[in-house]
Amino acid sequence: MSAPKALVLRSAGTNCEVESAHALKRAGAAPEIVHIGRFLESPEKLRAYRIVVFPGGFSYGDDIASGVVFGVEMRNRVTPELRRMIADGALVLGICNGFQILVRSGLLPATAGADGAQEASLAQNISGRYECRWTRLEVTTDRCAFLTKGEVFDVPAAHAEGRFVTKDDAVRERMRAAGQFALRYIAPDGGAAEFPWNPSGTQDGVAGVCDPTGRVLGIMPHPERNVESWHHPDWTTGTTPTEGAGLSVFRNAVRAAK
């Protein structure tokens, strides 16, 4: 079977598109990096792809708030096309700023009855500053195409607005019932993570969420920054795997897309 076509959507300020495309290629996809402007004019062109990735960075400088401008650009034309693609089995991944974009555009968490409304946000870290460090994640759902429940892996986080908050408790309960809390920060011993292992101070250690279909994932830390064995800080000890643990997110996506 041929490699599934994957799209990495960039804008002014995006800075992780090359790493994301590299991870997709390593996982067996055929990635292309394209500016969002091409699809604002002709959103139907998105249908050529089975995986769409919104990479990290600072889209449009995050001048209003993280992901807002990109999300607003998408909402009227690109978001409806993406919803049709997701219903047809396509996969969408948002990493860091990409996660913020998916939330702003209404693609996450997209709980039952949301009708495209924004139900959540990524708020400022409790520390009040940009946090950049390695974290440990645990997969907490069996409903996401990108993930395997129970898996634990290390990935670096780098964000100032990574604290997942919902509009109200009703949204949070709908997400919990649907298994949409996909990833949580954990401490090195596997227990609940406090700062700095939970860099944003997010409630319940939420590091990633999926939509009810399991085909849309938003993740705050960066799996594309741990796809080679030498990406991990312990690589010189000879104890790290032959490939970075973050690559599993992309391998799972390619497997599901095929």
Tokens of residue 158, six digits: 């780098």
What band does 42 get if pLDDT is binned at 50, 70 and 90? very high
Q: Taking the domain 5-122+130-257, which CATH number applies?
A: 3.40.50.880
Is a pLDDT exceeding 60 seen at residue 254? yes
Which of the two residues, 113 and 21, has the higher pLDDT score? Answer: 21
Q: CA 41 to CA 234: how far, in whole Å?
A: 46
What band does 68 get if pLDDT is binned at 50, 70 and 90? low
pTM of the model: 0.94
Q: Where are the domains of the chain?
A: 5-122+130-257
If we measure between CA atoms, which residue out of 182, 176, 165 comes closest to residue 125?
165
Looking at the annotation, which residues are catalytic? 96, 222, 224
Q: CA 201 to CA 126: how far, in whole Å?
A: 5
Could you report the per-residue pLDDT of 196-218, keeping only the tens digit for each?
999 999 999 999 999 999 999 99
Could you report the per-residue pLDDT of 88-136, keeping only the tens digit for each?
999 999 999 999 999 998 999 999 888 888 999 999 999 999 999 999 9
